[in-house]
Amino acid sequence: MAQKPSIPKGTRDFLPADVARRSYVINTIRTHFERYGFLPIETPSMEKSVSLMGKYGEEGDRLMFHVLNSGEKIKKADVAALSESKLGRFTQSISEKALRYDLTVPFARFVAQHQHELSFPFKRYQVQSVWRADRPQRGRFQEFTQCDADVVGAVSPVLEAECIQLFDSVFHSLHLKGATIRINHRNILSGIATYLGPPDRILDFTVALDKLDKIGAAGVFDELKQRGFGEDALTKLTPLLELSGSIVDQLDILESLLKDQPMAIEGIAHLRDVLRFVSPLHVSNLAFDLTLARGLNYYTGIIFEVAPPKTVDLGSIGAGGRYDDLTALFGLKEMHGLGISFGLDRLCMVLEELDLYPSTLQQAVDVIVLHFGDAYVQDLIPHIAKWRNSGLRVLVYPTSHKLKKQMQFANQSNAPWALFYGEEEQKEGILTVKNMGTGETDKINLDVFDTSILTT
């Protein structure tokens, strides 16, 4: 019986128009990655489970897609674990591989594995799918594409500055205005946490602070109180949440408030170093954001996050930061890393909403050839081959349907030009050339026909 065709929830088919738009964005990002000296790598879709499990916290382990062992191997299913509801152990007994959850951990594994084949500092980019068994919602899919650029094996504020510049260059090329590149530094957060209360409370502090946007200062205060911070801490925090002025101004204020916190001072100094390299570039919409506290389980220095323009209601479209020692998980120590990532799917949604795709993306074909049937096509075969060799995308209508039907198809194809070859044309050795935009037609001798006239 025929099945009603459908795909798993949270996954998508991409029609030609979708692929054209996604390719446009990917190619733009890729071009800029290459201009900044990043080299492409690719890793397998499936990694060994041991390489991924435990690297993304509890949530990551839970949202990982596991691939069942093949053949007889599943006979080893640990039924006892299942009956005790030890699902992790049960999964382990029937699955040794999992789908890539992000591009960073596979990259760390790659660097450790291939360390003797690479020259350091190593700048790599990677554009591949990742999979997460997350509840699907707007802008969140179970299969989506990440575009990552990372450099490992070097520490220099020049690299951080290049990350900021790279975000800016890509958005500029995509004509996307108003995306905000937010930066912060882990050491500033550490310094503030120490300044406010007992040591080692940075996570409690940042979890509360992260909600400032949603619940306001009063809400953050409430939450901090519940997490055991005293009144005194809240008094100290108030001026920190009221920073204003340029980034340099804000860092000045912060420095005077946190002058006794060496961690914070170090973080501030590092951001100043980075800004020295960014300032000649007039990057628009760069912002210091004290509440930015993402990925604290592995970021160790600067933290990036890019928000879409305010008119678009969507989460971050880019992120990144400095992480030291991620490759140590795979036995390679003291390998400093820094990276940024573009979320392709959300970026595409932003461009769509703001109507920023070039109209030329709709043209997947340059010329469509209409005719009276096979005998006519046969005359054209060597000519069509020549046109294609010159780079033209030529769609030959394959059958001898009524001309009306062929014209309808030509219209839907968005081809800017149609070439018609029928009885009269065959007799006279000509082509009728139609500009599909203006509707104008012209008759041209087939043997001298030059495709360079087909401009749009």
**CB closer to its own copies out of 291 and 414:** 414
- Is 456 among the residues that bind its own copies (CB under 8 A)? no
**Structure-token pair, residue 72:** 């007889």
Question: Which strand (E) or helix (H) includes residue 369?
Answer: strand 367-371
DSSP state of 386: H
In angstroms, the CA 313 to CA 316 distance is 10
**CB closer to its own copies out of 96 and 210:** 96
Among the candidate windows 116-124, 261-269, 288-296, 299-307, which touches its own copies by CB under 8 A?
116-124
* Residue 129: other Cβ atoms inside 10 A: 14
Least CB distance to its own copies at residue 9 (A): 10
The Cα-based distances of 339 to 99, 144, 155, 308, 454 in angstroms read 21, 19, 12, 19, 44
- Is 330 among the residues that bind its own copies (CB under 8 A)? yes
- Is 392 among the residues that bind its own copies (CB under 8 A)? yes
Q: Quick one: which of 214, 264, 300, 409 contacts its own copies (CB under 8 A)? A: 409
Least CB distance to its own copies at residue 51 (A): 7
SS3 label, residue 298: coil
Among the candidate windows 88-96, 189-197, 251-259, 346-354, which touches its own copies by CB under 8 A?
88-96
Q: Between vectors from CA 407 to CA 403 and to CA 411, what angle results, nearest 5°?
A: 170
Residues numbered 188 to 247 that lie near its own copies (CB under 8 A) are: none
Q: Quick one: which of 24, 86, 136, 156 contacts its own copies (CB under 8 A)? A: 156
Contacts of 272 by beta carbon, 8 Å cutoff, 6+ apart = 248, 251
Whose tokens are 């999964």? That residue is: 91
- Among residues 197, 200, 162, which one has the least CA distance to residue 181? 162
**Structure-token pair, residue 275:** 């800004």
For residue 281, how far is the Cα from the chain centroid?
A: 24
Among the candidate windows 5-13, 180-188, 314-322, 440-448, which touches its own copies by CB under 8 A?
5-13
Least CB distance to its own copies at residue 225 (A): 34
Name residue 340's beta-bridge partners: 149, 320
Backbone φ and ψ for 337, nearest 5 degrees, come out as: -135, 155
- Is 399 among the residues that bind its own copies (CB under 8 A)? yes
**Structure-token pair, residue 364:** 């997947």
Least CB distance to its own copies at residue 191 (A): 24
- Is 143 among the residues that bind its own copies (CB under 8 A)? yes
Cα torsion for 256, 259, 262, 263, to the nearest 10°? -40
- Is 447 among the residues that bind its own copies (CB under 8 A)? no
Least CB distance to its own copies at residue 156 (A): 4
Q: Quick one: which of 94, 234, 243, 403 contacts its own copies (CB under 8 A)? A: 94
Least CB distance to its own copies at residue 103 (A): 13
Strands 46-48 and 66-68: unpaired
- Is 440 among the residues that bind its own copies (CB under 8 A)? no
Whose tokens are 């990144």? That residue is: 320
Residues numbered 346 to 365 that lie near its own copies (CB under 8 A) are: 364-365
Least CB distance to its own copies at residue 122 (A): 9
* Residue 217: other Cβ atoms inside 10 A: 13
Q: Quick one: which of 26, 103, 161, 431 contacts its own copies (CB under 8 A)? A: 161
Residues numbered 65 to 84 that lie near its own copies (CB under 8 A) are: 65-68, 70-72, 74-75, 77, 79, 82
- Among residues 213, 433, 431, which one has the least CA distance to residue 313? 213
**CB closer to its own copies out of 42 and 260:** 42
- Is 285 among the residues that bind its own copies (CB under 8 A)? no
Residues numbered 22 to 61 that lie near its own copies (CB under 8 A) are: 22-23, 32, 34-37, 39-48, 50-51
- Is 7 among the residues that bind its own copies (CB under 8 A)? yes
Counting residues that bind its own copies (by CB under 8 A) gives: 117
